[in-house]
Chains A and B, each alone.
Chain A
Amino acid sequence: MKTLKAFGQGFETTNKKIRMTLYLWLANFLFSLLVLTPFYFILNKDFSRSLLADQLARGVDLLWLGDLIYKYRDFSSVLLGWFIVPGIFFLLLSVFLNGGIIGQIASQEEKVSLSNFLADCGKYFFRFLRVFLLSSVVFIFVFGFLFKIISLPFDLWQKNASTEWPLLFISNIKLLLLILIFSIIRMFFDYVKVRLVVEDSRKSLRTAVLNLSFIGKRFFKAWGLYLLVGLITFISGIVYLSVYQPLPKAGFMLFVAFVWQQAYFLARTWAKILFFSTEYHFFNVFSYKESIS
Chain B
Amino acid sequence: MSCKKFLIWFLFVISGLLSTALINLFAQPRISNIRYEIWVELDNQNKMLSGKEVISWLNKTKDLVPDMWFHLYYNAFKNERSSVIEESSEEGFGPFKIEVKKGEWGWVDVMSISLLDGRDLSSTMEFITPDEPLHPGDQTVMRVRFPEPIKPGEEVHLQLEFKSKIPRTILRSGYYQNSYFLGQWFPKPGVYEEGKGWNCHEYHLNSEFYADFAEFTVHITVPENFVVGASGRQIEAVPNKEKKTMTYTFYQENIHDFAWTADPDFIKVEQEFEPDKEVTQKEYEEMARILQLPLEDVKLPNVKMILLIEPEHKSQIERHFKALRAALKYYGLWYGPYPYQTVTMVDPPFRTESGGMEYPTLFTSGTSILRSKKVLSPESVVVHEFGHGFWYGMCANNEFEEAWLDEGINTYSTGKVLAKAYGPGVYSMAVNRIPLAWFLKLPSAYDYESDRAAAINVVEFDPITTFSWKFYDRGSYGLNVYMRASTCLCTLERLVGEEMMLRIMRTFQMRFRYRHPKTSDFISVVNDVTGRDLSWFFKELFFSTLNFDYGISSLHSEESKKYVRGVFEVEGKKEELTSKKVGQLEKKERKSGSEKLYITKVKIRRFGEARVNGDVLVKLRVVFEDGSEEVRLWDGQERWKEFSFEKPVAAKYAQVDPDNIWLIDSNLANNSLRLKATRKGIWRPATQFLFLIQSFLQFIAAWS
- Which of B667, B680, B693 meets A35, CB within 8 Å? B693
B312 pairs with A51, CB closer than 8 A = no
CB interface residues, B 653-704, toward A, < 8 Å: 653, 655, 666-674, 676-687, 689-691, 693-694, 696-698, 700-704
Interface residues on A, range: 35 or more
CB neighbours (8 Å) of A175 from chain B are: 432
Q: Counting CB contacts under 8 A, is A52 at the interface?
A: yes
Distance, CA A241 to CA B438, complexed state (A): 12
CB pair A62–B452 under 8 Å, yes or no, is yes
A-side contacts of B443, CB under 8 Å:
59-61
CA distance A95 to B457 in the complex (A): 41
Residues of B84-113 at the interface with A, using a CB-CB cut-off of 8 Å, are: none
Quick check: is A132 within 8 A (CB to CB) of the other chain?
yes
Select from chain B the residue with minimum beta-carbon distance to A182. B702
Chain B residues within 8 Å of A36, by CB:
686, 689-690, 693
- Tell me if A44 counts as interface (CB < 8 A to partner B): yes
User: Is B457 within 8 A of A49, CB to CB?
Assistant: no
- Asked whether B696 lies within 8 Å of A53 as measured between CB atoms, the reply is no
* Residues A254 and B672 in contact in the complex (CB < 8 Å), given A94-B704, A172-B434: no
Are A29 and B440 also in contact (CB < 8 A) when A46-B669, A167-B433 are?
Answer: no
Quick one: CB contact mask for A243-278 with B, threshold 8 Å, 1 for yes?
A: 001100110001001100100010010001000000
Across the interface, B453 reaches (CB within 8 A) one of A53, A66, A98, namely: A66
Nearest CB to that of A265 among chain B residues?
B694
Contact indicator per residue, chain A 145-171, by CB within 8 Å of chain B (1) or not (0)? 000000000000000011111011001
Question: Is there a chain B Cβ closer than 8 Å to A186's Cβ?
Answer: yes
B681 touches A91 (CB 8 A): no
Whether the pair A48, B677 counts as a contact (CB closer than 8 A) is yes
Contact B667 A70 (CB under 8 A): yes
User: How many A-B pairs with Cβ below 8 Å?
Assistant: 178
Chain B, residue nearest A67 (CB): B669
* Residues of chain B in range 301-322 having any CB-CB distance to chain A below 8 Å: 310-312
Contact at A50–B670, with CB atoms within 8 Å?
Answer: yes
Residues of B within 8 A of A234 (CB): none
In the assembled complex, the CB of A241 is this many whole angstroms from the nearest CB of chain B, namely 7
In the complex, are the beta carbons of B681 and A55 less than 8 A apart?
Answer: yes
* Known contacts A59-B443, A87-B697: A98-B704 contact under CB 8 Å: yes
> Within the assembled complex, what's the spacing in Å between the Cα atoms of A32 and B701?
13
- Considering the chains assembled together, what is the distance between the CA atoms of A163 and B347 in angstroms? 13
Residues from chain A with a CB closer than 8 A to the CB of B696 are 83, 87
Contacts of B701 in A (CB 8 A): 28, 90-91, 94, 272
CB distance from A28 to the nearest CB of B (A): 6
Cβ B693 vs Cβ A32 within 8 A: yes
A52, B702: Cα distance in complex, Å: 38
B359–chain A nearest beta-carbon distance, Å: 23
Q: In whole angstroms, what is the CA distance A196 to B368 when docked?
A: 50
Once the chains are docked, how many angstroms separate the CA of A90 from the CA of B434?
31
Report whether B684 and A59 are in contact in the complex, using a CB–CB cutoff of 8 Å: yes
Closest B-chain residue to A90, C-beta based? B697
- Measured CA separation A83–B310 after assembly (Å): 43
Contact present for B672 and A51 (CB under 8 Å): yes
Q: Which residue of chain B is the closest to A246 with respect to CB atoms?
A: B441
Once the chains bind, are B685 and A165 in contact (CB under 8 Å)? no
Is B177's CB within 8 Å of the partner chain A?
A: yes
Given known A66-B449, A245-B440, contact A54–B681 (CB-CB < 8 A): yes
Given A164-B368, A241-B439, A245-B440, the answer on whether A132 and B681 have CB atoms closer than 8 Å is: no
Tell whether, in the assembled complex, residue A241 and residue B449 are in contact, meaning their CB atoms are under 8 Å apart: no
Q: Are B445 and A62 touching (Cβ within 8 A)?
A: yes
A139 touches B703 (CB 8 A): yes
Report the minimum CB–CB distance from A172 to chain B (whole Å). 5
Contact partners of A29 in chain B: CB under 8 A: 694
Alpha-carbon gap, A136 to B700, bound state (A): 12
A28 with B698, Cβ < 8 A, contacts A36-B690, A43-B686, A49-B673 known: yes
**B634 interface residue (CB < 8 Å to A):** no
Residues in chain B near residue A56, CB distance under 8 A: 681-682, 684-685
Distance of A44 from chain B, by nearest CB (Å): 6
Cβ of B350 within 8 Å of any chain A Cβ, yes or no, is yes
Which residues of chain A are within 8 angstroms of B684 by Cβ–Cβ distance? 56-57, 59, 249-250, 254
* Chain A at the B interface: SS class: helix
Chain A residues 50-86 with CB under 8 Å of chain B are 50-57, 59-67, 69-71, 73, 83, 86
Q: Please judge, given known A-B contacts A164-B369, A172-B432, A261-B691, whether A254 and B704 are in contact too, CB under 8 Å.
A: no
Q: Report the separation of the CA atoms of residues A170 and B177 in the bound assembly, to the nearest whole angstrom.
A: 20
Within 8 A of A (CB), among B489-545: none
Closest Cβ of chain B to A33, distance in Å, is 7
Known contacts A28-B698, A171-B432; A48 and B672 CB within 8 A of each other: no
Asked if A31 and B698 sit within 8 Å, CB to CB, the answer is no
Do A43 and B674 have beta carbons less than 8 Å apart?
no
Check if A91 sits within 8 Å of B668, measured CB to CB: no
Give the contacting residue for B350; candidates A44, A50, A164; CB below 8 A.
A164
CB–CB B681/A47 < 8 A: yes
The verdict on A51 contacting B445 (CB below 8 Å), with A168-B370, A258-B687 known, is no
Partner of B669, one of A28, A47, A98, A268: A47
The reply to whether B653 and A53 form a contact with Cβ atoms under 8 Å apart is no
A44 to B681, CA, bound (A): 9
Determine the residue in chain B with the shortest Cβ distance to A73: B457
The interface residues of chain A lying within 8 Å CB-to-CB of B230 are none
- The distance in angstroms between the C-alpha atoms of A231 and B310, with both chains bound, is 38
Check if B343 is an interface residue, CB within 8 A of chain A. Answer: no
Q: Does B200 sit within 8 A of A, measured CB to CB?
A: no
In the complex, the chain A residue whose C-beta lies closest to that of B655 is A51
Complex contact B697–A28 (CB within 8 A): yes
The reply to whether A52 and B668 contact each other, CB–CB distance below 8 Å, is yes
Chain A residues with CB below 8 A from B676, complex form: 49
Contact of A164 with B700 at beta-carbon distance under 8 Å, contacts A55-B681, A62-B449 already known: no
Which residues of chain B come closer than 8 Å to A63, judged between CB atoms? Answer: 449, 452-453, 668
B450 interface contact, C-beta 8 A = yes
Residues of chain A lying within 8 A (CB to CB) of residue B440: 241, 245
Q: Which residues of chain B have C-beta atoms less than 8 A from A33's C-beta? A: 690
**Cα distance A98–B701 when bound, in Å?**
10
* A39 at the binding interface (Cβ < 8 Å): yes
The 8 A CB mask of B57-86 against A (1 = contact, 0 = none) is 000000000000000000000000000000
Q: Is B681's CB under 8 angstroms from A265's CB? A: no
CB distance from A264 to the nearest CB of B (A): 9
A51 cross-chain contacts in B, Cβ below 8 A: 653, 655, 671-672, 674
Q: Is B381 an interface residue (CB 8 A)?
A: no
Question: What residue in chain B is nearest A70 (Cβ atoms)?
Answer: B456
Report Cα–Cα, A32/B456, bound state, in Å.
Answer: 31
| Partner among B666, B671, B680, B704 whose Cβ is within 8 Å of the Cβ of A132 | B704
Q: Is A219 an interface residue (CB 8 A)?
A: no
Contact A64 B669 (CB under 8 A): yes
On chain A, the residues within 8 Å of B678 by CB distance are: 48-49, 53
Tell me which residues across on chain A come within 8 A of B666, comparing CB atoms: 67, 70
Q: Is A141 an interface residue (CB 8 A)?
A: no
Q: CA of A245 to CA of B368 in the docked complex: distance in angstroms?
A: 27
Take A56-B685, A57-B680, A164-B312 as given contacts and tell me if A94 and B700 are in contact as well, using a CB distance cutoff of 8 Å.
yes
A163/B694 in contact, CB under 8 A: no
Decide if B694 touches A44 in the complex (CB within 8 Å).
no
**CB proximity of B225 to chain A, nearest CB, Å:** 15
Q: Look across to chain A and name the residue whose beta carbon is closest to the beta carbon of B369.
A: A164
Is the Cβ of A32 less than 8 Å from the Cβ of B704? no
Complex CA gap A128/B670 in Å reads 51
- Chain A to chain B contacts (Cβ below 8 Å), 28 pairs: A28-B701, A32-B694, A35-B693, A36-B693, A39-B689, A43-B682, A48-B682, A49-B673, A49-B676, A49-B677, A50-B670, A57-B680, A60-B443, A61-B443, A61-B449, A62-B445, A66-B452, A67-B666, A70-B453, A83-B696, A90-B697, A91-B703, A162-B177, A163-B350, A164-B312, A165-B369, A172-B433, A261-B690
Q: What 8 additional pairs, Cβ within 8 angstroms, besides A35-B697, A54-B681, A171-B432?
A: A50-B674, A61-B445, A62-B450, A66-B452, A135-B703, A161-B351, A168-B433, A261-B690
The 3 residue pairs across chains A and B that have the minimum distance between CB atoms: A66-B453, A53-B681, A94-B704
